[in-house]
Amino acid sequence: MLRTPTGGAGHGTAGPGDRPMSIGAVLTRLRDEFPEVTISKIRFLEAEGLVEPSRSPSGYRKFSPQDVERLALVLRMQRDHYLPLRVIREQLDALERGEQVQLPAQGSPGDGTEGGWEPGAEEPTVRRLGRAELLAAAEITEGELAEWEAYGLVTPDEQGSYDTEAITVARLVADLGRFGLEPRHLRAMRASAERDAGLVEQVVAPLRRHRNPQTRAHAEATTKELAALSVRLHAALVRSALGTRST
């Protein structure tokens, strides 16, 4: 059972040892217990709203001891209980309200729909869509889907089903089409995405092969974090390129 961390996140009376810390100092503090944590991981958890450090006038992050305690609690929930971020956020919100939180037994899986996983057990089944479901969810025609498949923008598996990301891809392709961008114009984006996925796989593959089951379970969270960072970098590079060309 969990109780609210002392002082809550980002609150409490400051003492002599309560000076705000830089993100580098936070990383050093956390690495004794979490050797695989990185600065990008801390930034990712901040972007997900799980910690809210203050900012200096020049924009640098300043973490209080309560922020560090909260980060450690999040990392323990991921490592020891395999909880997804949405559930962790709900648990933290309950703690902030002064409620007691009952966590699942250490290392036990969730219900199979929220990313819970038990070492040695089969991974939870990922939701798949049939062709008709995809057409309805993305609000596209059979002809559009067939054309996008021909260009490799949407790809079914061997059974002819699709992952849920296919809905997002289809809607974005349709939106770009309204600006005159045809599927043949988007093949370069698909190729770039595959290269990015290859880089992520290179980083995550050693984690998936690790003997420690907790490290293997951490591979999925690492994959999501790297994917989010890759998307942000791509968006920043596109904005930068457009800004450069407009001058």
Closest CA relative to residue 90, chosen from 114, 111, 108, 68: 114
Tell whether the model's pLDDT for residue 8 goes beyond 80: no
Q: Are 151 and 186 in contact (CB under 8 A)?
A: yes
Question: What is the domain partition of the chain in residue ranges?
Answer: 1-124, 126-181, 182-247
User: Beta 128-129 vs 61-62: how paired, if at all?
Assistant: unpaired
Query: What three-state secondary structure class fits 200?
Result: helix
Average pLDDT, the chain: 79
Residue 62 pairs in a beta bridge with 54
Of the ranges 66-75, 101-110, 213-222, which one carries the lowest mean pLDDT score? 101-110
Q: Are 134 and 146 in contact (CB under 8 A)?
A: no
Share of the chain above pLDDT 90, in %: 25
Which residue has better confidence, 118 or 165? 165
Provide the pLDDT for residue 108: 41
Q: What is the pLDDT of residues 173-206, one digit of tens each?
A: 999 998 999 999 998 898 988 898 898 888 888 8
Topology (CATH) of 1-124: Multidrug-efflux Transporter Regulator; Chain: A; Domain 2 (1.10.1660)
Tell me the pTM. 0.48
Q: What is the pLDDT of residues 167-180, one digit of tens each?
A: 889 989 999 998 99
Closest CA relative to residue 78, chosen from 125, 34, 120: 34
Distance CA 191, CA 195 (A): 6
